[in-house]
Amino acid sequence: MIVKTGIVRDERYLRHETGRFHPESPQRLEAIYEMLDSSDMKGKFVNIKPRYADEDEISAVHSQSYIERVASTSGKKQTFLDPDTETSPESFGIAKLAVGGLLNAIDGVIEGDVNNAFALIRPPGHHAERGRAAGFCIFNNVAVGALHAIRNHRMKKILVVDWDLHHGNGTQNTFYEDPKVLYFSTHQFPFYPGSGSVNEIGRGSGLGYTINVPLRRGPGDAEYLRIFRKILEPVALDYKPDLVLLSAGFDIYYNDPLGGMQVTPAGFRNLVRVLLNIADACSKGRFVVTLEGGYNIQGLRDSVKAVLLEMKGESYQTDETLNDVESQADSGIDTIIQTVIKQIEPTWRVF
């Protein structure tokens, strides 16, 4: 079977300027786009053109007053929305283009134009709250995307996985009482933004539909793979999502300047194979990735390449391969795995 993998890329994303020495720089996408144009990658992927999300779509997640606050920065040289998040003259439009790029990727996958897709966009989104920017994020791309799939495509259950180094507080808070979205996060803890403790598991009808795996610095390929296979996989197969979304932050790369994790490009490839297997089993293969963090430029380039090739089916990892990697995990990771399982067992009787 020939797998059609879509990518969202657009030079306009480079025009969101963040200032000299800011880690979330245009150079991140420049390196990825250069990799896509290399001789061994060129022509492998289906280009998905982005569009500007309209304000009605964005207001599914964000307050009108906040949208107007961001809009007011248009044409201004520099505005700080929070201490870490600044805008340049075109940032409002580019942030709408980031949301719209992910929405078009979701549309393309659900409508069958492509099998899966990766939105290579910026600014990132998972820290953005209903009424405020945070952590380099302006609009919460993945949260708007999940609600778009529910409202426009009648999807009933969405799995959002977030492997970024930093907890996706904005995504969690958007869906904290909503069982239509199962949010699963691995993240360094305690670390920015300070949320994501193991006992944050949702509220009301959403109780048990938020799963946090807070980690001390140090886990690498084998430990992350064990977490995904021992916690996420059984829960997801029981949940049976109609669509799998991934907030892909590559700041858990072993040499990221902001992080303390030890994941390699091969490790990212293995994690995405777990997610693709879930999508194949539950969601007719529907799997869409959006770029979040990742601040080692070479590591970002290599890791995105590994993920894309796995999505394309050109480096397919078997269960036997994954078993070999997982067998190398430090047994210390089992403590947090069992702690998480104990928290969610009342909702998920699959362990």
Measured CA to CA, the distance from residue 222 to residue 200 in angstroms comes to: 25
Instruction: Looking at 12-140, list the stretches that DSSP marks H as alpha helix, in order from N- to C-terminal side.
Output: 27-36, 55-58, 64-71, 91-110
Q: Residues 159, 239: contact at Cβ < 8 Å?
A: yes
Measured CA to CA, the distance from residue 266 to residue 261 in angstroms comes to: 14
Identify the active-site residue in 16, 62, 127, 166: 127
Instruction: Looking at the chain, list the stretches that DSSP marks H as alpha helix, in order from N- to C-terminal side.
Output: 27-36, 55-58, 64-71, 91-110, 141-153, 169-174, 221-227, 233-239, 265-282, 297-312, 319-326, 333-344
127 is catalytic: yes
Residue 114, SS3 per DSSP = coil
**Gap between the terminal Cα atoms of the chain:** 34
What sign does the dihedral 89-94-96-99 (CA atoms) show? Answer: negative
Phi then psi dihedrals of residue 180, to 5 deg:
-70, -15
C-alpha separations of 212 from 34, 231, 263 in Å: 35, 10, 19
Residues involved in catalysis: 127
